[in-house]
Chains A and B, each alone.
Chain A
Amino acid sequence: MRVILIFISAALVNNFVLAYFLGLCPFLGVSKRFDTALNMGLATTFVTTLTAVTTWLINRYLLVEYNLLFLQNVTFILAIAALVQLVEMFIKKTSIALYRSLGIYLPLITTNCIVLGLALFAVTREYTFMESVFFGAGAGVGFTIALIIMSGIREELEFADVPKVLQGAPITLLMAGMLALAFMGFAGLLSV
């Protein structure tokens, strides 16, 4: 039961993009069209879940075991970079179609703060293994939801008459603000 609460909390209540401001670069960068947003979201969810597994294992059996916690940042970021590279190679070998649709987004995910952020959050909150996995998946799903909603709004926005100085980034940020307000409505959903 607790894992489901953690999942919902990471995906909706404490949405990584709109409540923790993580992953804003891709959120602003690839939210222009619906299908790219969906592909980016799926690729990120895949990586966040795998990262949660990997970093949990590294933290538990390497860093805590040998009292190397000060190396957390360095090892986590290297593990994430290596993981993304491996995933890219694996997808390229097994499914060319999937590689074509996700391929270009994978390298970008390394620098997505969500991935490193969730690894660090999972450590500070002392999640168990299963909790970390659901936390990682929830983070990815939350990112996907935010990205898809945003891309929908931005596709409509093409027809709107935006003042010249607000075009581009400013109006996107203002809309993200509105979206964050709306997501605050989920706050009463559960109390974890």
Chain B
Amino acid sequence: MPPSDRTLFYEFKKGLLLENPVAVMLLGMCSSLAVTNQIKNSLAMGLAVVFVTIASSALVSMVRKLVPGGVRIATYIVIISGFVTLADLFFKAFFPDISKTLGPYVPLIVVNCIIMARAEVFAAKHPVAASVADAVGMGVGYTWVLLVIGAIREVLGSGSIFGLAILSENVFKPWVVMVLPPGAFLTLGFLIGFINYIKSRKEGIE
């Protein structure tokens, strides 16, 4: 469909599944694997990314006509790292324990390809409202994948969810490997495989 027919809702919706940044486009893998050993960390990271994506997409879209093409990437980097610093300082001030567990992965949002990709591919070419809708969709799409990975790893790896034990030690021995690095790779691998499976079945029906 031509761009003018696309509604704001469409821009929002495509980030959820069709063009999901983590599961389909494989962007922003570093953070999505590193911080997802607990669902709490996933949530914090997801919210930080939602904030930075929305804020930087909006600002990039506002200044898109003022920035000369040659320096646009550098401009985006400065804008994004400004907002990331805000998020980082916010965590440090109000949630020091979360800031400690997330460690350098919050500042590393700067090089998270999702935000850069949205700035370059979308916000630089579209008006503010559409860019914000797109950013919200991408941010939420990123967050739900992170939450799913976090939930799977926390339940299988420590038998708890949000830090509350749901599986008793006698019934289920936690798989420690799931909270360690290999578990992250395996979970995401199977998750993407599962999404591919659903997509291939859908295409088969249609």
Chain A residues near B (Cβ < 8 Å): 18-25, 28, 70-74, 77-78, 81, 111-113, 116-117, 120-121, 124, 163-166, 169-174, 176-178, 180-181, 184
Contacts and interface: CB of A to CB of B under 8 A. Distances in A.
A120 B104 CA distance: 6
A18 B81 contact: no
Interface of B: prevailing SS: helix
Contact of B78 (A21, A78, A177): A78
B203 to A, nearest CB: 12
B121 interface: no
B104 A121 contact: yes
Contacts of B82: 74
Contacts of B182: 177-178, 180-181, 184
A169 B197 CA distance: 13
Interface string B170-181: 000000010011
B103 interface: yes
21 contacts: A18-B181, A19-B181, A25-B26, A70-B89, A73-B84, A73-B88, A77-B111, A78-B77, A113-B108, A117-B104, A120-B108, A164-B200, A165-B193, A170-B190, A171-B189, A173-B188, A174-B186, A174-B190, A177-B182, A177-B186, A178-B182
A69 to B, nearest CB: 11
Contacts of B103: 124
Contacts of A171: 189
Interface bin, chain B: 35 or more
A77 B81 contact: yes
A180 B113 CA distance: 23
Nearest to A118: B104
B110 A21 contact: no
Contact of B200 (A22, A72, A165): A165
B196 A116 contact: no
A121 B103 CA distance: 9
